Chain A
């Protein structure tokens, strides 16, 4: 490792570069690395050196980079035996190294004084030194899972390693830095992963060796933060930093057991790593200026007590150090950085790998940096400003908490949190106040650029690497370039400046990028060179670039090109309308009982569906809350449900539901953010679609600069995807997973086969269809990516480990797994798509699938092969080369592949070793298959949707703007507040429109999917046909009319054909506007026709009509939008040909006056009469419904409701049975009205149901019983009259007879009622119950009279059969009557034959004598 590099004799440059080599670019074995890399590095250093010294023509090198072949021109490099693949990482690292000082807020690049020979003592680092770094970084803590980390190794040169022993004693490790920013950024729980493990030194699996090497790259010596802290406090921050400190002297003592695992610059936290190191440096540098204060040497040598401020301990780079004892290990400038203590004013955290912003204050008084303040620095600011600095320990605790919280949230990249700075949300506001101007003197000046020609050369080489896809990730490089552009470095003093650019230094030691001037120069050069790539970025990014003052300053022409490019750029992250439906509709075709094996299964699934949604809703509500954990809160419910699945075998049903829901919620681009991302969805909705974009931008701008994640975020499950992942993880049901896998595979392969039509470019409506195909493609692609990710997740779930297994285990596992089939034959899929030129569809989803690989996965033959294939595909996908593949298609693939190569699980050696690539070659079909690749299918929208990380460029630039404007006072554009009333259109209308769109979506929700397909298809076709129709009808007519006009006009003397042409053309264009109206008619006519034919006959009228209308609308809209923007051009074009033809045919052009605009008008008028026949909804089942109820004709259905009448009768009956108060008595009128209501209610069948109806009739009988028994307290007619006068009379005893009279009226009414058909089932037997009769008998004569009257009437009107009465009587006679036997002869009501039988208790019928009618029990 380091020692080995440093041991290189006198070859300073070589040694330097050797250090720089990121170990992942190096061969596998560490031992080998030690022995072999150095020579290799030497060779490469020599190469670069010779280039820089112009010993070799730059162009040759470029050539060589371009063609790795054997052409003669490349002979020069042969003796060097340098592989192109080796040189590229070397170059990249060189640039990183060069710029690392500029990109950090560390001290100014140290003066490399030639008089100070560099440290060259070999360190005695054992092989185990730092061996765990790599592994640790790559494996993340248990909380985050392996996916949370990503690597950006290119910057790995700066991570600081400190001999761990010192660390150990002082602080717990936390955080990681070794891989450069992102890894640490994105893995919140790094600290847990990297436990201080002394034993780690003894393990040397190959992979660890790799890590060792890699770590060596960044093997700079950190200094204990405590010390730094101490010094910062004691020394203040005034010193202008000078030089890079080297923690020389630490090499020897650093390697005590266990140290390796813990040295760390961890305090930087999840937000940044390498940057932390740099910051550390920065902080440390503050105290460096005063050697006098530095602790004695002895302290340092003894143990931890290093003095970072001591130039001798940490000599600037290039200084030789006098005291050998202290220089056993040449450690370099990286210091562990306490989060805050030594940076009393907040500093920007690194984003990604290096921080473009922030510098140390150059003035004596510490000035906080604007960028930092504006962007993210709040925590440190808050921690340190205005309050005593927290101890490092406290900060660590704080960091831990933040990390822990994030880990709990499960989302590895919480966008809402500043990824760079572990920040308490509460502290954030402080940052606002922290914005203070950046120190002056940062303005890069073209005139101060030094080493121009060398920079040009480096830029050329670098650009070649980028253009030729020699770099693993093109966008990572672009990001680096933009970082350079936006870097902030303290002003360099003149002397330093001189020092740096002096030719006296070793060529490779010069600070090419050590000054901001140079950085910007280099960056602008690269941007100019890579303009095509840059110009495909989104509009905002381009705008920010164009407005960047540095770009303007260094290359006005680039600025102009950028400004121009903005116009052609279409990509803006436009929010798609969030549909409100979130459930999977129940479809009888797949979901009803017949689809299940048993009733039990059916009903169980019913419950499962509900539980699934219950869980989903709860997740939505709570998952963002702190401490909420899926497993803890929902685990048992999920598993309970799954176990029921197992018992009923409903897996396939549930798998379908699950996947449909997944697709429903996560398919759209919108789903990338979680639903909560829009804080006020309602407001957005109210503003309507057109204002959405603006508001969204505003919102973005307000929240935007906070999180710069860098262009290589690890794979993530954003938004609702998280729910589905957690659900699967928690359910851990192998049956379910199998069903899901089957289904996903099938769907994926189906999607992969989807045919996308080549857009018709020739005809005018080509644009329209092209747009459709594009949309189709993009929805297919997005869906496939989603499904592939989940297929990958489920497939590799069983093998996921939180840490990379050792090489032995890995090999054993790989061997074991190689025997079974992979879920998807990825190689075959990939080969086939290459052959058929459909890579643009297949590769993106394959990348998603592979991004889910476990650590061992890439070593399985099939995945190894496919990765190799992808790599060779990537290499071939050279953007600048105009191939048959469209640029944006290529760009998308380059972006996703580049991203894949940076994912932690993908072995680093993949890219720069030949292992992978050699074995596989992609066969290209020779046939002229016109596949998707050649179609312009990808647009910027899709590109940004698939690669949201491309938005990082914009963030970076915006952050820079925020910083510089705070200083310069106004680059930020004023934001016009968007109010709801904007733009004239009333809000209501807009929200109404939105509502209509929502309703339409909703309409399809519960309909069979085929309906939607049909409607969309028909609308699409009709819309398209409409345009064609307009061309052959309207446009033809117009042109013909125009031709007539022209000819007529030309005849007349003095006609000017050109004037004539113009005026006719104008008329025709006006006439063309009619197309819109005609199109509407056409669509309204044809759309419904087609729909009627295509939909099944049994479609209900309402559904049919609605479908027709939606079709009409969609088709019209389609035609309308095309026509309104193109009709004029179309007419003009057609007219031009006609005009030319006419003019050619004419012998001599003569001018004439123009008249006859009427003609044109007439042309249109003819067709205007197409009548619009409204198809009325046939009221098919209206009649049916009416028939069911048999109301009398013309029934107004205004009768009282049965329930109301029942309530009323109940009330009356309650009064009758008591208990009641004295005052409660009823009038005849009341009862009369009640009975009237009953009659009405019974006759209107609208609200009538059997049970209430029966009850009602029954109640009338009961009422009759109460009436005849006199139990119902009645008010006398007289009283009744009084009552109407005085509402509350005191009731005196009323004459019974008079009541009786009116009761007869009521009875009559009842009898009439019962006589109706509907009352045939009246339970009249109740009249003859013992209860009734005894009550009647106990009452007065008149009651008896009433009773007889009732019975008589009933019999007379044949409502009651005589036999019936007799039988009731007979039954009654058997009862033990309390008193004298009642003998009744009902002569009036019964016919003679029955009279004889009528005996009650032996009383004889006395020939129907009159007195019987008045008979009365003797003693009642």
Chain B
């Protein structure tokens, strides 16, 4: 869905005080019934990521961590059946999943006790670096694999990797957490969070891949032959869009050589980043192309059409292919 900048700003304004929970999403949906949920969620998610990026260092300060942990302990003791961790996260405006991560990390330090003290230090650092990493890589479905890869890189050394692995596993499967109450609270956090957490990551990942499949499907439907990212990589291309058309097409009168699928909303920040890191690079190598923001974009960003970057929020319908129907003998075999 293509939004005007004004509409977009209105939504952003509305998200400013929301927390990344189911309930807040409901509020958002009710406020903007005309926009699709995916668009709203995507905008919210991007905005929330920006917010997190701004504030994360504050939450990661050792004294903050300590105070959260202590507060959690006391709250959990007082009201074990209450969603105390979730409430804490919402109160300090931190993503519940990230809060859970911080708390579990801290909890593990306690658990492992003096024996693993040094390792725990390393583990904590790793947790931080992971969070930083997550923050710097906007949760993009397609980038998940890459992130996974980098996470491994971050985890480099033996014991660090192990404790990080432990941490991740615990977040993914809270039942692994030795403390029953904490497990429940963590579970509550990761399930409820709609911007961070293993489940959200997975969903985003799925959305990204599904979009690519959809795109390939549509291309096949129209008999448009293409090379996908993997084929390109094996050929040694240094930059690989999702799709390179073997035979270019024209979309709304603009030549298209490549197509990039983005399962997110195209806002100013992400579009600028993509332009610099991806789209222009594609243009530099393959000529003009098309970007599909499946969850919509700010209409005003579609200003580079004449320079070779076209934005759409769906698979285009106005496609012109090379047709050789000019002569009677050459009835179109491309579409045949």
Interface 9-mer from A9-17, A80-88, A754-762, A1201-1209: A1201-1209
Q: How would residues 1216 to 1232 of chain A score, 1 for a CB under 8 Å from any chain B CB and 0 otherwise?
A: 01110000000000000
Q: How would residues 1290 to 1332 of chain A score, 1 for a CB under 8 Å from any chain B CB and 0 otherwise?
A: 0000000000000000000000000000000001001001111
Tell me which residues from 1159 to 1214 in chain A have a Cβ below 8 Å from any Cβ of chain B: 1172, 1174-1177, 1201-1203, 1206-1207, 1210-1211, 1213-1214
The answer to whether A622 has its CB under 8 Å from any CB of chain B is no
- B285 CB contact (under 8 Å) in A580, A609, A1255: A609
Given contacts A995-B253, A1110-B322, contact A1080 B286 (CB under 8 A): no
Whether A1206 lies near B203 (C-beta < 8 A) is yes
- A1206 CB contact (under 8 Å) in B202, B225, B306: B202
- B287 CB contact (under 8 Å) in A581, A1106, A1210, A1213: A581
The answer to whether A1116 has its CB under 8 Å from any CB of chain B is yes
- B331 CB contact (under 8 Å) in A582, A1174, A1255: A1174
* CB-defined contacts of A1329 to chain B, threshold 8 Å: 175
Q: How would residues 276 to 308 of chain B score, 1 for a CB under 8 Å from any chain A CB and 0 otherwise?
A: 000011011111100000000000000000111
**Whole-angstrom CA separation of A240 from B327 in the bound complex:** 73
* CB-defined contacts of A1255 to chain B, threshold 8 Å: 199, 202-203, 206
Residue ID in chain A nearest B334 by CB atoms = A1105
- B322 CB contact (under 8 Å) in A1109, A1116, A1174: A1109
**Whole-angstrom CA separation of A1252 from B244 in the bound complex:** 26
Whether B328 lies near A1077 (C-beta < 8 A) is yes
Interface 9-mer from A149-157, A429-437, A583-591: A583-591
- B209 CB contact (under 8 Å) in A602, A998, A1003, A1249: A1249
* CB-defined contacts of B217 to chain A, threshold 8 Å: 1246
The answer to whether A991 has its CB under 8 Å from any CB of chain B is yes
* CB-defined contacts of B184 to chain A, threshold 8 Å: 1217, 1331
Tell me which residues from 573 to 627 in chain A have a Cβ below 8 Å from any Cβ of chain B: 580-583, 585-586, 588, 591-594, 602-603, 605-606, 609-610, 612-614, 617
- B246 CB contact (under 8 Å) in A1100, A1112, A1207: A1100
* CB-defined contacts of A1210 to chain B, threshold 8 Å: 191, 199, 203
Whether A1174 lies near B333 (C-beta < 8 A) is yes
**Whole-angstrom CA separation of A1219 from B191 in the bound complex:** 11
**Whole-angstrom CA separation of A591 from B257 in the bound complex:** 18
B interface residues, tally (CB under 8 Å): 67
Whether A588 lies near B237 (C-beta < 8 A) is yes
Whether A617 lies near B307 (C-beta < 8 A) is yes
A1377–chain B nearest beta-carbon distance, Å:
11
Whether A588 lies near B257 (C-beta < 8 A) is no
B181–chain A nearest beta-carbon distance, Å:
10
The answer to whether B238 has its CB under 8 Å from any CB of chain A is yes
* CB-defined contacts of A1080 to chain B, threshold 8 Å: 327-330
Whether A1202 lies near B322 (C-beta < 8 A) is no
A593–chain B nearest beta-carbon distance, Å:
5
Given contacts A592-B238, A613-B283, contact A1331 B180 (CB under 8 A): yes
* CB-defined contacts of B333 to chain A, threshold 8 Å: 1105, 1109, 1174-1177
Whether B210 lies near A594 (C-beta < 8 A) is no
Residue ID in chain A nearest B321 by CB atoms = A999
Residue ID in chain A nearest B207 by CB atoms = A1203
* CB-defined contacts of A1332 to chain B, threshold 8 Å: 175
Give the interface size class of chain A. Answer: 35 or more
B41–chain A nearest beta-carbon distance, Å:
9
**Whole-angstrom CA separation of A1002 from B331 in the bound complex:** 21
Whether A1252 lies near B203 (C-beta < 8 A) is yes
Whether B246 lies near A580 (C-beta < 8 A) is no
Whether A588 lies near B236 (C-beta < 8 A) is yes
Residue ID in chain A nearest B335 by CB atoms = A1177
Whether A996 lies near B323 (C-beta < 8 A) is yes
* CB-defined contacts of B183 to chain A, threshold 8 Å: 1331
Residue ID in chain B nearest A1120 by CB atoms = B327
Whether B205 lies near A1251 (C-beta < 8 A) is yes
- B249 CB contact (under 8 Å) in A999, A1077, A1202, A1213: A999
Whether A1202 lies near B206 (C-beta < 8 A) is yes
Tell me which residues from 34 to 83 in chain B have a Cβ below 8 Å from any Cβ of chain A: 83
* CB-defined contacts of A1252 to chain B, threshold 8 Å: 202-203, 205-206, 209
The answer to whether B223 has its CB under 8 Å from any CB of chain A is yes
Whether B285 lies near A1218 (C-beta < 8 A) is no
Whether B283 lies near A1006 (C-beta < 8 A) is no
Residue ID in chain B nearest A1253 by CB atoms = B206
A1123–chain B nearest beta-carbon distance, Å:
13
* CB-defined contacts of B248 to chain A, threshold 8 Å: 999, 1002-1003, 1005-1006
* CB-defined contacts of B336 to chain A, threshold 8 Å: 1174, 1176-1177
**Whole-angstrom CA separation of A668 from B116 in the bound complex:** 71
B184–chain A nearest beta-carbon distance, Å:
7
**Whole-angstrom CA separation of A1332 from B223 in the bound complex:** 51
Whether A1213 lies near B330 (C-beta < 8 A) is no
Among B144, B174, B236, B330, residue most surrounded by chain A Cβ atoms (within 10 Å): B330
Whether B280 lies near A593 (C-beta < 8 A) is no
Tell me which residues from 79 to 111 in chain B have a Cβ below 8 Å from any Cβ of chain A: 83, 86
B319–chain A nearest beta-carbon distance, Å:
11
Whether A1109 lies near B334 (C-beta < 8 A) is yes
A64–chain B nearest beta-carbon distance, Å:
63
Tell me which residues from 1084 to 1126 in chain A have a Cβ below 8 Å from any Cβ of chain B: 1084, 1100-1103, 1105-1106, 1109-1110, 1112-1113, 1116
Given contacts A1081-B329, A1106-B334, A1326-B175, contact A996 B83 (CB under 8 A): no
Given contacts A1113-B330, A1249-B206, contact A585 B286 (CB under 8 A): yes
Given contacts A610-B281, A1219-B83, contact A1000 B202 (CB under 8 A): no
The answer to whether A1369 has its CB under 8 Å from any CB of chain B is no
* CB-defined contacts of A605 to chain B, threshold 8 Å: 238
Whether A580 lies near B288 (C-beta < 8 A) is yes
The answer to whether B192 has its CB under 8 Å from any CB of chain A is yes
Whether A613 lies near B280 (C-beta < 8 A) is yes
**Whole-angstrom CA separation of A605 from B285 in the bound complex:** 12
Q: How would residues 316 to 328 of chain A score, 1 for a CB under 8 Å from any chain B CB and 0 otherwise?
A: 0000000000000
- A585 CB contact (under 8 Å) in B285, B321, B334: B285
The answer to whether A1406 has its CB under 8 Å from any CB of chain B is no
The answer to whether A992 has its CB under 8 Å from any CB of chain B is yes
The answer to whether B153 has its CB under 8 Å from any CB of chain A is no
* CB-defined contacts of B207 to chain A, threshold 8 Å: 1201, 1203
* CB-defined contacts of A1103 to chain B, threshold 8 Å: 225, 246-247
**Whole-angstrom CA separation of A177 from B225 in the bound complex:** 65
**Whole-angstrom CA separation of A1219 from B89 in the bound complex:** 13
* CB-defined contacts of A591 to chain B, threshold 8 Å: 236, 238
The answer to whether B218 has its CB under 8 Å from any CB of chain A is no
Given contacts A583-B285, A585-B285, A592-B237, contact A1101 B225 (CB under 8 A): yes
A1269–chain B nearest beta-carbon distance, Å:
11
Whether B203 lies near A1207 (C-beta < 8 A) is yes
* CB-defined contacts of B14 to chain A, threshold 8 Å: none
* CB-defined contacts of A1112 to chain B, threshold 8 Å: 324, 327, 329-330
Whether A1214 lies near B192 (C-beta < 8 A) is yes
**Whole-angstrom CA separation of A1403 from B199 in the bound complex:** 39
The answer to whether A1247 has its CB under 8 Å from any CB of chain B is yes
The answer to whether B27 has its CB under 8 Å from any CB of chain A is no
* CB-defined contacts of B146 to chain A, threshold 8 Å: none
Taking Cβ atoms with an 8 Å cutoff, the residues of B that contact A are: 22, 83, 86, 144, 173-175, 180, 183-184, 187-188, 191-192, 199, 202-203, 205-207, 209-210, 213-214, 217, 223-225, 235-239, 244, 246-250, 253, 255, 257, 280-281, 283-288, 306-308, 320-324, 326-331, 333-334, 336
23 contacts between A and B (CB under 8 A): A581-B255, A583-B286, A586-B237, A586-B238, A588-B235, A591-B236, A602-B238, A613-B283, A995-B320, A1002-B255, A1002-B288, A1005-B257, A1106-B246, A1106-B247, A1109-B322, A1176-B336, A1207-B203, A1251-B202, A1255-B199, A1323-B173, A1329-B175, A1330-B180, A1331-B175
**Can you add 7 more A-B contacts, CB < 8 Å, to A1002-B255, A1106-B334, A1177-B334?**
A583-B286, A1002-B257, A1112-B330, A1116-B326, A1217-B187, A1246-B217, A1252-B205
